[in-house]
Copies of this chain bind each other. A is one copy, B any other.
Amino acid sequence: MCQLLGMNANTPTDVMFSFAGLSHRADEHKDGFGIAFFEGRGLRLFIDPESARASPVADMVRRYPIRSHHVIAHIRKATVGAVALQNCHPFVRELWGRYWVFAHNGDLKHAPLAQALPLHGHFRPVGDTDSEHAFCWLMQELAKAHADVPSVAELTHTLRELLPRVAACGSFNLLLSNGQALWAHATTKLHWVVRQHPFGAATLADEDLSVDFAALTTPADRVAVVATEPLTADEAWTAMAPGELQVFVDGAPLAGT
C-alpha cells in the first residue's frame, strides 16, 4: 500500500513539515514518490522512481519552500506496474483548460478494469498501473458529464456518482485536485485535520520533529491536511468512513456537499 498526502489552504502554504513526515515512511514505500503543487492554474510536478529518502528531487522539495493552495503527494510501494517513472503518482491530465492531479492508494483487483471502466475517450494511460487507468476513466466520464469546467459543487455531485463505480473494483483511497478544490475519497484509510487559529505546536508521529505553527502563521490562515495515516501525534485527526467523499476549499471541508 502506498501513502497519500494532500494539502488545501486558504493562503499559499508550504508542506515541508508534512512532507518530512511522509518521507520518513519511505523506507517501506521505496518505489518512487511524487508531489504536485498548484500555483494558480499552473502546476509543478516532481516525480522520481527513487525512494523519497534517496531522491535528489525529494531533497530539493524538502529544502525549497514552495507555497501553494493545493498539494498532492504520494510515496509508492509498487503492486501493479513496474518501478518506473511512468508509473509514479500523481498523474496529470488537462481537461477544460485546467490541470487535474490524481493520486491513489489501494488496488483495483476485483474486476478486469477494461470491462468495468472501459476507456473509449481520448484519455489513455501512459504507464501500466490500475491507478492511471482509473484516473483516465474518471477524466473521460467528467468530460462527458460537463461541457466546460463546472462549479466545485457540480463537480462534487458528478464525482459522487462516478467514484463508487471505481471503488467497486477494489480499494480506492483517492486525492484529486484541479486547483479549485481538493477532493478526498476513502474506502479503507484516509485521515484529515484542519489547522487554524489559535494555532498550536505539532510533533511528527514518526520522528522527533516539532513545529510551532503559531510562529509561522497569521490568525486568518487555515490549512487542511489529508493523509493515509495521521502524520502528527498531538493533533485530532478525523478518520474518513468507507465510501466517504470530502471536498476541501480554502482550508476546510466544504459544508453541504
Stretch at the interface among A41-49, A159-167, A192-200: A41-49
Query: Which residues of B lie under 8 Å from residue A95 when comparing CB positions?
Result: 122
B123 touches A39 (CB 8 A): no
Once the chains are docked, how many angstroms separate the CA of A92 from the CA of B122? Answer: 15
B44 touches A44 (CB 8 A): no
Listed by A's residue number, 13 A-B pairs whose Cβ atoms lie within 8 Å are A39-B85, A39-B86, A40-B85, A40-B86, A42-B84, A42-B127, A44-B85, A57-B64, A92-B92, A93-B94, A95-B122, A99-B126, A122-B143
B122 touches A42 (CB 8 A): no
**A223 interfacial contact with B, CB 8 Å:** no
A126 touches B42 (CB 8 A): yes
Query: Which residues of B lie under 8 Å from residue A41 when comparing CB positions?
Result: 86, 126-127
Query: Which residues of B lie under 8 Å from residue A126 when comparing CB positions?
Result: 41-42, 94, 97-99
**A253 interfacial contact with B, CB 8 Å:** no
Query: Which residues of B lie under 8 Å from residue A56 when comparing CB positions?
Result: 60, 63-64
Q: How far is the CB of A73 from chain B (nearest CB, A)?
A: 16
Interface of chain A, helix or strand or loop or mixed?
mixed
A42 touches B124 (CB 8 A): no
Interface size class, chain A? 35 or more
- Mark A residues whose CB is within 8 Å of B: 39-49, 56-57, 60, 63-64, 84-88, 92-99, 122-127, 143
> How many of these chains are in the complex?
2
Residue of B nearest to A119 (CB): B97
Q: How far is the CB of A208 from chain B (nearest CB, A)?
A: 27
- Give the residue of B45, B63, B97, B124 whose beta carbon is less than 8 angstroms from that of A96: B124
Query: Which residues of B lie under 8 Å from residue A127 when comparing CB positions?
Result: 41-42
Query: Which residues of B lie under 8 Å from residue A125 when comparing CB positions?
Result: 97
Once the chains are docked, how many angstroms separate the CA of A98 from the CA of B44? Answer: 19
Query: Which residues of B lie under 8 Å from residue A44 when comparing CB positions?
Result: 47-48, 85
Once the chains are docked, how many angstroms separate the CA of A92 from the CA of B92? Answer: 10
Once the chains are docked, how many angstroms separate the CA of A42 from the CA of B84? Answer: 7
Once the chains are docked, how many angstroms separate the CA of A87 from the CA of B40? Answer: 11
Residue of B nearest to A121 (CB): B122
Q: Please judge, given known A-B contacts A123-B94, A126-B97, whether A84 and B45 are in contact too, CB under 8 Å.
A: no
Query: Which residues of B lie under 8 Å from residue A122 when comparing CB positions?
Result: 95, 122, 143
Once the chains are docked, how many angstroms separate the CA of A172 from the CA of B143? Answer: 31
